[in-house]
């Protein structure tokens, strides 16, 4: 009778090495992918703000609501600075986008909910919350609770089809998202309407605000006897620009009398005068 012995199973060394090699390669690939993907997610989540000058402010951002003019506090590596809503073009915070909009004689940061020719925003200010609609021509209204159909039909009158359907009662406030899409599609299909409505990226005149801010920053660096008076006039002009009010001649004449003798601010002064004439 043939005898069988319990000999250990022999694995060829080459086969075993191949198996271990495959395990090593798979582990290396996973580790490499982790190092590639991880920085992407980290970098994609940082908060930042973009100023009207085009500067990008990366770091910790805190939006602060005031009576008429919101502010944002920026801090990074021990450095801290406060900017007004007149200086900031938009903010990206915790994955949400905020833009400054004119609201109740002030300027407030609002969260972008839906963007287009007609955009939808949400706001929270002085214990009040709501939704706000803004067109790119700078006109806007708070989303109405009372007389919704009538108010919206009047506001969206550039698109007769949308306005008529609102008047007929086809839409309610629950259909707001659908109403915005229909209105934006209407404008996109009408090139004349689109070019007329798409005047500015938001409700603030960027060129005028930028011109005022540039001149103020330049004046602050100078040392002259009437510096405080010039800055007071610039603050008045900035306030009126933010409210879309006309600038009285006496303000500009006074400003020119203070700053014309200062050659170093001449370029910024001319830029402001030019922007206010438009």
User: What pLDDT, on a 0 to 100 scale, did the predictor assign at position 209?
Assistant: 82
Q: Which residues pair with 110 in a beta bridge?
A: 99
Q: Confirm if 158 and 187 have CB atoms less than 8 A apart.
A: yes
User: What pLDDT, on a 0 to 100 scale, did the predictor assign at position 113?
Assistant: 94
Cα 110 from Cα 85, distance rounded (Å): 11
Q: Which long-range contacts (CB under 8 A, 24 or more apart) does 257-263 make?
A: 258/226, 258/229, 258/230, 258/233, 259/215, 259/219, 259/230, 261/224, 262/219, 262/222, 262/224
Low-confidence ranges of the chain (pLDDT < 50): 1-15, 19, 21, 24-25, 29-44, 193-203
179: enclosing H helix or E strand: helix 176-189
User: What pLDDT, on a 0 to 100 scale, did the predictor assign at position 33?
Assistant: 47
User: What pLDDT, on a 0 to 100 scale, did the predictor assign at position 205?
Assistant: 61
Q: What is the pTM of this model?
A: 0.62
Q: Which residues pair with 84 in a beta bridge?
A: 71
User: What pLDDT, on a 0 to 100 scale, did the predictor assign at position 18?
Assistant: 53
Count of C-beta atoms within a 10 Å radius of residue 237? 23
pLDDT digits (tens, 9 = 90+) for 219-243: 999 999 889 889 989 988 888 887 7
Cα 139 from Cα 50, distance rounded (Å): 23
DSSP string computed for 74-86? EEETTEEEEEETT
> What is the torsion angle, in degrees rounded to the nearest 10, for the CA atoms of residue 32, residue 38, residue 41 and residue 45?
-150
């Amino acid at each position: 009778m043939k005898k069988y012995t319990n000999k250990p199973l022999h694995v060829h060394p080459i086969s075993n090495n191949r198996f271990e090699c495959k395990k090593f390669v798979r582990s290396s690939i996973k580790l490499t992918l982790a190092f590639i993907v991880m920085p992407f997610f980290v970098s994609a989540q940082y908060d930042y703000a973009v100023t009207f000058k085009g500067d990008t402010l990366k770091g910790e951002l805190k939006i602060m609501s005031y009576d008429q003019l919101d502010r944002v506090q920026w801090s990074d590596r021990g450095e801290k600075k406060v900017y007004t809503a007149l200086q900031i073009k938009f903010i990206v915070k915790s994955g949400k986008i905020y833009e400054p909009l004119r609201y109740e004689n002030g300027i407030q940061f609002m969260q972008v909910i839906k963007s287009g020719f007609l955009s939808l925003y949400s706001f929270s200010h002085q214990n009040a919350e709501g939704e706000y609609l803004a067109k790119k021509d700078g006109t806007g209204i708070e989303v109405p609770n009372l007389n919704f159909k009538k108010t919206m039909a009047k506001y969206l009158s550039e698109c007769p089809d949308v306005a008529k359907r609102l008047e007929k009662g086809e839409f309610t406030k629950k259909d707001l998202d659908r109403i915005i899409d229909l209105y934006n599609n209407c404008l996109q299909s009408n090139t004349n309407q689109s070019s007329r409505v798409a005047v500015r990226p938001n409700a603030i005149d960027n060129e005028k605000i930028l011109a005022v801010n540039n001149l103020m920053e330049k004046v602050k660096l100078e040392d002259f006897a009437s510096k405080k008076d010039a800055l007071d006039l610039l603050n008045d002009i900035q306030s009126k620009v933010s409210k879309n009010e006309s600038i009285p001649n006496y303000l500009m004449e006074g400003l020119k009398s203070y700053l014309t003798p200062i050659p170093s601010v001449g370029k910024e002064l001319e830029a402001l005068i030019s922007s206010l004439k438009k």
